Chains A and B, each alone.
Chain A
Amino acid sequence: MASPAQQLPPGWAAEWDPANQRYLFIETASGHRQWEPPAMVPAAPADLVTSGSPPPTHHAKRRQYAAGQTHAYYGDAVAPDPNYGAMQPPPPAGGQLFTPGLAAENQFAQQQQPPQPYYGQPQPAPEYGNVPAYGPGPTAVGGGAVNALADQFGQMGMGGQKQFQLYTTNLLTSPPDPRELLQPPPEIRLPPNACISPSPHANAHPSYQRSTLNAIPTTSSLLNKAKVPLGLILTPYRSLDEGEEPVPVVTDTVIARCRRCRTYINPYVQFIDGGNRWRCCMCNMSNEVPQLFDWDQVRNQPGDRWSRAELNHAVVEFVAPTEYMVRPPQPAVYVFLIDVSHAAVQSGMVATATRTILENLDRIPDEDGRTKISIICYDTSLYFFSIPPGSADSTMLVVADVEDVFLPKPTDLLVNLVECRQSLETLLGRINGMFQDNMTVGSAMGPALQAGFKLMSHIGGKITVLSSSLPSVGQGALKNREDSKILGTSKESGLLQAASPFYKTFAIECSRAQVSVDMFLFSAAYQDVASLACLPHYTSGQTYYYPGFNAAKSEDAIKFAREFGDVLAMPIMLEAVMRVRASRGLRMASFHGNFFVRSTDLLAMPAVPQDQSYAIEIQIEETITTPFVVLQTAVLHTTCYGERRIRVITLALPTTSNLSEVFASADQVAIATLLANKAVERSLTHKLEDSRDHIFAKLVEVLTTYKTSMTAAGSGASAQLAISENLKMLPVLVLGLLKNVGIRQSAQIPPDIRAYSQALLTSLPSQLLIPYIYPNFYSLHNMPPDAGTVGEQGVIMPPPLPLTSERMERHGLYLIEDGQTMFLWIGRDAVPQLVADVFGLPNYEALRGGKTTLPVIDTPISQRISAVIQKTREMRRGVYYPHLYIVKEDGEQPLRLWALSALVQDRADVLPSYQQFIQTLKDKVNGVGSY
């Protein structure tokens, strides 16, 4: 099929008409339609579009790459190496691999209207790969964005509050561009003088806290009209970017809080009465300024109020005085429960785990020398290790009675890391040997958990469970309930719920005693991840899953050791409670994430790991009369070095009574994150199908409202599918979510894999979640010459491609990654030179698919690809170290399908392609069909 759209003059669009099997040409300005192609224009259309109107920056650029594809193989663009792929002309787009969508992607190539610049300000196309995904930290890397923001603030002081400009785009003619996802969310435009600080850090960075709407509707009827869900996505304890300033700490224990609503003082309060009182930004209460507020306790002299951290920073930590403690700060406690049954030892899990703990003993947080450690091994019995202080040796104590668990010794089981370092090291070195020939099959995980709990419940801390088998004896024993017959049916969601009440009641006990549980699961067989993940879910822990772990494969061992090591080294917030306060009129309605809801608005989190994300749905209870609202998250916690602290994160957002502003301020990334949380919740309370229908209906509602209230079409039918520019990626994100393993319609997904995926969907911060539902896709064999080399801001990434196999050439090499897994896809006609340079093998046939580590070869392309892969593994927060799989185009079917399932814009079985999805959306929005 020739691609007529490529040759269209500007102002024309081509649409494939499946009924007539030919292209329909539409003059977009007038709506005129004709079958004959319009008169050709000799020059490249992209150039024409550029003149006169704002340049469609990235689209033009993308076409440029497409044109240059045949030349720019790698490195040397001037003298292209003819060896790679040039043996064969690139096949026509589409149709070669996987069932692509109905119409060629090319139909989109012609922009109907030049895209409007983002929010009225011409911005340069983002330097892809140099902008860290979603998280341009307030310092260093994000400099550009912050400066732009600061400029805005500067201008605002003069001209008053600027309105959000709404730019409508037609989804039928503008394909999703992955780069849009790297744009910062719609800018927060506060009214002048809302903030008392000129600091660029006075409002929370989206990586800490972001709202689905950056302009809050003043009434609930306006919110209901807009249909966009209102919610808050927060990652209060996110890790710092490299070079980022640590969170400022207020050490003088002068904590100014509102008497009525207990809000912490922040940059959005007002000082009144000559500075002696301050007016609360949430409830308007006038409060006294504490006496020592203006006193510099370090130098013992009057201080400058305006330089106080809590008045200049949206993210700040207070050192808490004793009123905030129910007991003296606890030490950090780590209890390891290691499965030493036959399967666990044989898979090499025990050896890898003990070695990793041993190697990371120095990294376990222990600044104050109080950290305590205990190791309990279990199969169908429990094995305790008694380490008397000062002794260089340990004694093993076996408890075979797992029905009524008791501790064999009152002391020396939970020991101080520093005092018993020597014997711990010896012990860790010996455990694998001790159980080398263990033939016991079965797992007393429940009793082991109870024992670990007994050991530490008077202090609190973290239990880390490493398990290779389904719990089979004692409390919490589970049955294999995997039944392939009910997969894909309405009963499937039952498999995603806890099978035994033990995992909920024990989780509650843990939460009460400030104990958090982390699960590391390794089984090749059914392990009931859904039940086991309950413990981390309600105790603010995290589940990690390594299905079919085999340490004999170095990739498996490296991945687990890296991730486990990082988890061990991670600083944690102990004994934490979190509360989100908001201006009058707003109410936190429901909570999603790993915690226990202890009262209507108090979230109990025994040990908060870094980079765990939570979502809160917000209701508008009464009409908001203020020009802006404030949402403040406070996490009262004990640091792992024994200091009681309060982390406070303040986000101020303008309010609006204008529907178009509500749309223009919507943050598609935050909405997708909230929808992922809601979808998982619904799949548990209802059915998987209901959950898919629910988020799809949500999207239809948004699009319908947009059409009826924001476009000329009103309630009539429309040939367009309109949405605002800032929500352009929402449909494809929803499609990605509908196709995610955790939600997808399929009768082939094992319940364990689904449950793990759901655990990820509800705990990953947006930065990791977005690639997880909308993966990144790069072409490597023809990446631009600078990609994979080190630029000013680290390794430069190739431009991301839309997720469709139409982009694949038979001789190509591609990287598909979702933050959890990476696929290196190689086409069947890959030239031997490419295979030799990247993999060190003579030809394509010699290459084997599967988990792999790329060999280090001294060729430029190999080094650049390694750099890209390395950067992919490092550029996001979190401990995840994705596996790399080589996928051959004609290789093993399951692996191929797995890799191709990441290309969410393609059709797969019953799941629609992006074009089909958009078409269905259009029909629904126009009232055709029912849902």
Chain B
Amino acid sequence: MGGAGWLFLFAVLMAAALLFTSVFFIIMFSDLECDYINPIDLCNKLNQFVLPENGAHAFLTVLFLLSGQWIAFGLNLPLVVFNALKIQKNNHMFDATEIFRNIPDHKRESFIKLGFYLLSFFYYLYRMIVALIAESE
């Protein structure tokens, strides 16, 4: 298996992991709305995952850039910029005092990310297969 194959295999695994974090976030928000968890614990829990998630996604994007996968890089760039802006404005963490006011926004964001990771997952899978076929030919 060549470079592109390995890269997209890694990307598929990363996308799956990111997919799971999004699902986890959405489940936690639903728990909060059903009062299964209090906002303080929720924020403490979720905030541990925010930076790793953003970091993993940025890392993947950088890999695409380095390996010259321009389409994949271009697809991921907007989300990296979005995350970076949030970190720069220092509002990337969940705030327990405001969480109930912002929960619809947070949920929407998580759903959009979920959709994005899902699509990326299939795209990477496709690219991986294409790379494998190209190699075997």
| Minimum distance in angstroms from A598 CB to a CB of chain B | 6
Q: What sequence of 0s and 1s flags, for each residue 679-715 of chain A, a beta carbon within 8 Å of any chain B beta carbon? A: 0010001000000000000000000000000000000
Determine if A538 is an interface residue (Cβ-Cβ < 8 Å).
yes
Residues of chain B at interface, number, CB under 8 A: 12
B39 & A504 in contact (Cβ 8 Å cutoff): no
Determine if B33 is an interface residue (Cβ-Cβ < 8 Å).
yes
Q: Which residue from B35, B95, B96, B101 sits with its C-beta under 8 Å from A590?
A: B101
For A538, the closest partner residue in chain B by CB is B97
B39: A residues at CB distance < 8 A = 597-599
- What CA separation (Å) do A720 and B35 show in the bound complex? 50
- What CA separation (Å) do A512 and B95 show in the bound complex? 15
| Minimum distance in angstroms from A499 CB to a CB of chain B | 11
Determine if B67 is an interface residue (Cβ-Cβ < 8 Å).
no
Q: Which residue from B32, B38, B95, B100 sits with its C-beta under 8 Å from A504?
A: B95
| Minimum distance in angstroms from B32 CB to a CB of chain A | 8
Determine if B40 is an interface residue (Cβ-Cβ < 8 Å).
yes
- What CA separation (Å) do A598 and B32 show in the bound complex? 10
| Minimum distance in angstroms from A408 CB to a CB of chain B | 30
Q: Which residue from A508, A602, A681 sits with its C-beta under 8 Å from B40?
A: A508
Main secondary structure, interface of B, reads helix
Determine if A885 is an interface residue (Cβ-Cβ < 8 Å).
no
B33: A residues at CB distance < 8 A = 600
For B90, the closest partner residue in chain A by CB is A501
B99: A residues at CB distance < 8 A = 597
For A590, the closest partner residue in chain B by CB is B101
Determine if A507 is an interface residue (Cβ-Cβ < 8 Å).
yes
- What CA separation (Å) do A590 and B103 show in the bound complex? 11
B35: A residues at CB distance < 8 A = 599-600, 602
Residues of chain A at interface, number, CB under 8 A: 15
B40 & A504 in contact (Cβ 8 Å cutoff): no
A598 & B38 in contact (Cβ 8 Å cutoff): yes
For B103, the closest partner residue in chain A by CB is A600
Q: What sequence of 0s and 1s flags, for each residue 596-633 of chain A, a beta carbon within 8 Å of any chain B beta carbon? A: 11111010000000000000000000000000000000
- What CA separation (Å) do A600 and B95 show in the bound complex? 15
B97 & A504 in contact (Cβ 8 Å cutoff): yes
B40: A residues at CB distance < 8 A = 508, 512
Q: What sequence of 0s and 1s flags, for each residue 91-135 of chain B, a beta carbon within 8 Å of any chain A beta carbon? A: 000011101110000000000000000000000000000000000
- What CA separation (Å) do A208 and B107 show in the bound complex? 36
List residues of A (557-600) whose CB comes within 8 Å of B's CBs.
590-591, 596-600
A508 & B97 in contact (Cβ 8 Å cutoff): yes
For B99, the closest partner residue in chain A by CB is A597
A512: B residues at CB distance < 8 A = 40
A508 in contact with B96 given A597-B39, A598-B38, A599-B39 (CB within 8 Å): yes
- What CA separation (Å) do A629 and B39 show in the bound complex? 30
| Minimum distance in angstroms from A515 CB to a CB of chain B | 14
A507 & B97 in contact (Cβ 8 Å cutoff): yes
- What CA separation (Å) do A507 and B95 show in the bound complex? 12
| Minimum distance in angstroms from B41 CB to a CB of chain A | 10
Q: What sequence of 0s and 1s flags, for each residue 479-518 of chain A, a beta carbon within 8 Å of any chain B beta carbon? A: 0000000000000000000000000100110001000000
- What CA separation (Å) do A908 and B51 show in the bound complex? 49
Q: What sequence of 0s and 1s flags, for each residue 13-53 of chain B, a beta carbon within 8 Å of any chain A beta carbon? A: 00000000000000000001101001110000000000000
Q: Which residue from B32, B97, B101 sits with its C-beta under 8 Å from A596?
A: B97
Q: List 25 A-B contacts (CB under 8 A).
A: A504-B95, A504-B96, A507-B97, A508-B40, A508-B96, A508-B97, A512-B40, A538-B97, A590-B100, A590-B101, A591-B100, A596-B96, A596-B97, A597-B39, A597-B99, A597-B100, A599-B32, A599-B35, A599-B38, A599-B39, A600-B32, A600-B33, A600-B100, A602-B35, A681-B101
Chain A residues near B (Cβ < 8 Å): 504, 507-508, 512, 538, 590-591, 596-600, 602, 681, 685
Closest 4 A-B residue pairs measured CB to CB?
A599-B35, A597-B100, A538-B97, A508-B96
